[in-house]
Amino acid sequence: MRRRIVITGMSWVTPLGHDIESVWQKLLAGESGVTPTAVFDASTFPTSFSAQVKDFSLETFLGEDAQRHAGASRNTRFALAACQAAWSGAGLHALDQLQSDRVGVYLGGGEAAIDFDNFAAAAVGGWNYDENKLNTVAWAEIAQARFDAICELEQDPNLAAGHIAVQFKAAGPSFNTLTACAASTQAMGEATRLIRRGDADVMISGGTHSMVHPLGVTGFNLLTALSTRNDSCETASRPFDRTRDGFVLGEGAAILILEELEHAQKRGANILAEVSGYGSTADAFRITDIHEEGRGAVAAMGLAMDDAGVTIDDIDYISAHGTGTEENDKIETLAIRKVFGERAKDVPISSIKSMLGHLIAAAGGVELITCVLAIRDGMVPPTTNYVTPDPNCELDYVPNQSRQAAVTTALSNSFGFGGQNDALIVRAFSD
């Protein structure tokens, strides 16, 4: 028998708040976390709004330990905060006998924002153009003056995983994947495989990202991927609605504690759900476009169900990737129809990106937590701002109002640039 993987802790840092219960209630109520962008002056950008994390302080979560991470980037701080809450929720905060080399980290972690103004000033100011070389003394002086007050010094995507390993003494396998919008779903799927094959007993997994900065917004605007509904930002994220005009950029983190079943039971852990299936594919088609027939998405969902040993009749809820772009929503709908056939119209599907925006590398982690909560409470969150039906998107997207539903098994989809497709199956736990 293969090793079973259960979820024993989870938490998130989101544009709607930083704790499980209050954010969940806001999602069920259809509240929006989208506001005019405040972390930088976006007033001249084609898109001047985003879903930002607000009122956040790492000290609230880590206390004096926050000073150990003084140079950490914004996304790393989100991950540390979410991990602290998930770790405590899993009952690991008071566990002294945990074998540290059997605890690993696998994140979908995005790159941090670069402070281009200060970086450019230091680089250009120290360059001797007459001699075509760097004046190291001048550079050091400018760098010291410019960087002393800057917190976000770290850029590498893997550093969030490193900070978590340090803070929680996770000396086992440590990985980071940056497969765009599918990153945290892929990280959690690969983390389950690590536990299954015996390389770890506990994996800290999920994702973190913040691209709400000039480079991130400029890039997505150039791709024409972002909504430009500046006059109505709270309703700008409209997955599956015919009037959708792009996604809303968000930021945040989601961390889940994945644990081998017997290990969790021996320490008396509270088991929240079981991760039972994972599928991962590539479209092998184009870098920025999904395959027109949903080839990779269809395969990923099928592999996840096969891995879990379930059929389409077992799936009670689908957490859609549902970005709110014309192409993504149409093709995801097509892929679901291909996999589920006639039953596709009977399965509730929703996209919480309509409220939280698109958290990029962190999106899948947030959405898997939503699936666990749907199983726990028998409630599925709505797809808000769904007003005008699209003939290409004719399924049940739980429009605008949350709904009671008996959810035992849920499917979570994530698709990313490069043609990455990942799907996870999470189920109510039973012996």
**Helix and strand numbers, DSSP H then E, in the chain:** 13, 16
Catalytic residue selected from 83, 358, 371, 393: 358
Residue 381 Cα distances to 32, 42, 145, 343, 430, angstroms: 13, 30, 48, 20, 24
Strands 133-134 and 251-260, by their bridges, are unpaired
- Greatest CA separation found in the chain? 74
Per the annotation, the verdict on 358 as an active-site residue is yes
Q: What angle do CA 176, 178, 180 make, to 5 degrees?
A: 155
Instruction: Please tell me whether residue 64 adopts helix, strand or coil conformation.
Output: helix
Per the annotation, the verdict on 321 as an active-site residue is yes
What b/e string do you get for 81-96 counting C-beta neighbours within 10 Å, with b at 16 or more? bbbbbbbebbbbeeee
Q: Are 107 and 161 in contact (CB under 8 A)?
A: yes
DSSP notation for 295-334: HHHHHHHHHHHHHHT--GGG--EEE----S-HHHHHHHHH
Catalytic residue selected from 83, 181, 233, 393: 181
Catalytic residue selected from 69, 263, 291, 321: 321
Instruction: Return left, alpha or beta for 386; rule: phi > 0 is left, psi -120 to 50 is alpha, else beta.
Output: beta
Strands 251-260 and 202-210, by their bridges, are antiparallel
Residues carrying an active site annotation = 181, 321, 358
